[in-house]
Amino acid sequence: MSIGVCYFPEHWPRDRWEEDVQEMADAGLEYVRMGEFAWSRIEPQRGEFDLEWLEAAVDLVGEYGMQAVLCTPTATPPKWLVDERPEILQEEADGTVRDYGSRRHYCFNSPAYREETRRIVSKLANHFADNPYVTGWQTDNEFGCHGTVRCYCDDCATEFRDWLRDRYDSINDLNETWGTTFWSQHLTGFHEIDPPRETPAGHHPSRLLEYHRFASDSVVAYNRLQADILREHNDEWFVTHNFMGQFPDLDAFDVAEDLDLVSWDSYPTGSVQAKENPTVDEYRAGDPRQVGLSHDLYRGALGKPFWVMEQQPGDINWPPHSPQPAEGAMRLWAHHAVAHGGDAVMYFRWRRCREGQEQYHAGLRKQDGSPDRGHADASRAAEELFDLEPVDAPVALLHRYDDLWATSIQPHSPDFDYWDHVGTYYRALRRRGVQVDVIPPDRDPSGYAAVVAPSLHLVADDLADRLESYVAEGGHLLCGIRTGEKDPYNKLPDAPQPGPLADLLGATVDRHETLPADFETRVTYDGDTYDYRTWAERFDPDGATVRGEHTGAVDGTPAIVENEQGAGSAIWSGVWPGADLADALVESLLVRADVERTPVLPDGVAVAERDGYVWVTNFTGSPVSVDLPAGTEWIVGSNPIDGFDVGVTDAGLGAITVDTD
């Protein structure tokens, strides 16, 4: 396991570099990421390249025994380029141009920008092709950040038309597939298609879904363009991209197919502020379930260890509030990442930057170059962490961006949120320390003891067949609301929900509804009564056993069913469960699938097993106690585990109990 750092030598005097690099090496760091956003230093004017400085920095890193990860600088085309070719800028749905002045000011579908990208990436790849200290490349930076996946410019219009021409036999095939009779939306040719610009009322949901897919595919193609050039120059380099948490607009699974390594940027005290009412502890260290879901998503993307390419190093500038992280939080996050299958944790950045948009963002070092708290945390993590096999997760959680997009296009309630709903099930699994692979539903689930599919919304026959086989062969499946409601093109099938999954789940949906918070929303499950929220389906069982029922005005209407099929079983919840119901549903699944687990863990405490070791990471400010069985020991830390501290033991997951005092 490795600790690394992101470094911007171009921000500092050249005579400081060696001191910096030496201190990195002294701190036990192994990787240094460089070159990001550096286009205007690499090519100050068109055709005048200066790669000497970057090469010198790479060599210095190598000389001190570390390896360099380089970045393509395409997230920030320089002003001279924008002025020469202003058509690379994006346009918003209302026609507003997104101008130069920050970053990500280019359209993925701009032929001009693709040409410029080929030019600069080739230049860099060629220059460093034989450099022994460059181990791999990061393409661009955080694709889609600041809402830049979806553009509405004329280049996008042209590409969207071609993309559709490839997917449909004819315009009539498209008319039929989308269903364009509604509101007179028939098209007479692909030339009539535009991006979904500003309109009086809402767009056609099939058109929107296809535009979301197209926009994501545009990024995939743009990334592939870079990956291909890099590999042409040196096929031993790894190619990675640094994704962003639970980012909704870009299909990370699709991008990952062109990568050797998946990485993501983790800012726990920033992302937690997207939650409704973070606790003070969460403001100080983040929510381990929220961070863990991203770890497991990006581990799931390629089914192998991931990197944290940017790890929060201290206080940061971009969330609403900027509290100081708790003492030790920067070390805690590194352990947590490794426990979830991370193989490297790269802190962002070496030193607080004195200029530009991120001056209020800490580094491992302060603005004057002296060590900040992150420096001590990073070097301690580097010392404590050791090499490990990949995570072997017993449970898969199915996630698909198409379902996210379709349900976001028609949320049917201001309170519906795809990730929040997925998170309800994820949290229940993680509250018992179970490792979870987040994978797309088109992947073979047969290796997993249990599969949780919160919202398989768009369902075609092949998916239904795959899940039927899984269950028939002994798999255990848990499905949630909105399952099987639509076909893959966001159209209602003739058959009632869950469409092709009706046989497997043993029931259909009679009707559904969304309810504001002031409604009483309760169901029974196995004799107890539980709260649910926002969404309710009323089932017509057809073969399944009723396990839960609605209460109140429609008392006794089936709400949760279970269907045994072959050697396995399927549970289907027609409500968005509260935490207690999610726990009951998940526990029942884990019992049936015989998955090793802990008793319910305290909020804010995460337990995870990797390669025979168990991590107990305490994201709360209060100590917790963990008694180990005889013959096992603490590898890192000891009992009790202090607030914001970590323990690593060789005791098995099933032997672990965590208590608050």
**Residues labelled catalytic:** 142, 310
Residue 117 partner contact from Zn ion, a second copy, Mg ion, none using kind-dependent CB cut-offs of 5 to 8 Å: none
Q: Annotate 62-83 with b (16+ C-beta within 10 A) or e (fewer).
A: bebebbbbbbbbbbbbbeebbe
Helices (H), 473-535: 502-505
Reported as half-sphere exposure (CB side, CA atoms, 13 A), residue 545 has a value of 10
Round to the nearest angstrom and report the end-to-end CA distance of the chain. Answer: 33
Residue 153 touches which member of a second copy, Zn ion, Mg ion, none, C-beta under 5-8 Å by kind: Zn ion
CA 660 to chain centre: 30
Among residues 133, 237, 267, 283, which is the contact residue for a second copy, using CB under 8 A?
Answer: 283
Question: Is position 170 an interface residue for a second copy (rule: CB under 8 A)?
Answer: no
**Distance between CA atoms of 144 and 251, rounded to whole angstroms?**
10
Hey, which residues between 376 and 405 contact Mg ion (CB under 5 A)? none
Q: Return the range that interacts with Mg ion (CB under 5 A); candidates 17-25, 132-140, 243-251, 625-633.
A: 243-251
Query: Which residue, 145 or 561, is less far from a second copy as judged by CB?
Result: 145
Q: Which of 31, 216, 266, 51 is nearest to 138 (CA)?
A: 31
Distance of CA 278 to the CA centre of its chain: 20
Site residues for a second copy, 366-425, by CB under 8 A, read 366-368, 372, 410, 412-414
Interface with Mg ion includes 217 (CB under 5 A)?
no
Smallest gap from Cβ 653 to a second copy, in A, equals 32
Q: Which does 529 bind (CB under 5 to 8 A by kind): Zn ion, a second copy, Mg ion, none?
A: none
CA-CA distance, 4 to 23, in Å (whole number)? 12
151 sits near Zn ion (criterion: CB under 5 A)? yes
Looking up tokens 């057809």 gives 542
Residue 251 interaction partner, one of a second copy, Zn ion, Mg ion, none, beta carbon < 5-8 Å per kind: Mg ion
Task: Indicate whether 391 belongs to the interface with Zn ion (CB under 5 A).
Answer: no
Residue 254 binding partner per list Zn ion, a second copy, Mg ion, none, with a CB distance cut-off of 5 to 8 Å that depends on partner kind: Mg ion
Selected range binding Zn ion among 147-155, 302-310, 453-461, 571-579, rule: CB under 5 A: 147-155
Report how many helices (DSSP H) and strands (DSSP E) the chain contains, helices first: 19, 27
Helix (H, G, I), strand (E, B) or coil at 500: helix
Q: Closest separation between CB of residue 410 and a second copy, Å?
A: 6
Question: Looking only at residues 114 through 153 of this chain, which bind Mg ion when binding is defined by CB under 5 A?
Answer: none
Work out what residue 217 binds among Mg ion, a second copy, Zn ion, none; the CB cut-off runs from 5 to 8 Å by kind.
none
- Give the residue, chosen from 68, 107, 628, 636, that forms a contact with Zn ion under the rule CB under 5 A: 107
H helices within 257-400, ranges in order?
A: 268-271, 280-285, 288-302, 329-339, 373-384
Provide φ and ψ at 191, rounded to 5°: -65, -15
Q: Which of 2, 72, 90, 271 binds a second copy (CB under 8 A)?
A: 90
Nearest in space to 502 (alpha carbons), one of 467, 535, 473? 467
CA-closest candidate to residue 167, choices 193, 200, 132, 133: 193
Out of 31, 64, 100, 298, name the contact with a second copy by CB under 8 A. Answer: 100
629 binds a second copy (CB under 8 A): no
The span from the CA of 456 to the CA of 439, in Å, is: 12
Could you say which of Mg ion, Zn ion, a second copy, none residue 386 binds, taking C-beta under 5 to 8 angstroms by partner kind?
A: none
Q: Which stretch binds a second copy (CB under 8 A): 107-115, 128-136, 205-213, 420-428?
A: 205-213
Hey, which residues between 556 and 615 contact a second copy (CB under 8 A)? none
Q: Is 39 in the site for a second copy (CB under 8 A)?
A: yes
Question: CB 402 → Mg ion: shortest distance, Å?
Answer: 6
Q: Is residue 513 a contact residue for a second copy (CB under 8 A)? A: yes
| 621: helix, strand or coil | coil
Kindly tell me which residue out of 36, 142, 251, 609 binds Mg ion, with binding defined by CB under 5 A: 251
- Nearer to a second copy by C-beta: 175 or 469? 175
CA distance 347 to 344: 10
When asked if residue 519 is in the footprint of a second copy (CB under 8 A), the reply is yes
Q: Which helix (H) or strand (E) holds 119?
A: helix 111-128
User: From the list Zn ion, Mg ion, a second copy, none, which binds 511 (C-beta under 5 to 8 Å, kind-based)?
Assistant: a second copy
Q: Which of residues 141-160 bind a second copy (CB under 8 A)?
A: 145-148
| CA–CA gap between residue 399 and residue 179 (Å, rounded) | 26
Q: Judged by CB under 8 A, which of 443, 491, 522, 592 binds a second copy?
A: 491
In angstroms, give the least distance from the CB of 98 to Zn ion. 10
* Total residues in contact with a second copy, by rule CB under 8 A: 104
Alpha helices in 192-287 (DSSP H): 205-233, 252-256, 268-271, 280-285
Which phi and psi (to 5°) does residue 271 adopt? -65, -30
Nearer to Zn ion, 58 or 151 (CB): 151
What percent of the chain is helix, strand and coil (3-state, nearest 5)?
35, 20, 40
Closer to Mg ion by Cβ: residue 394 or 440: 440
Tokens matching residue 184: 């007179």
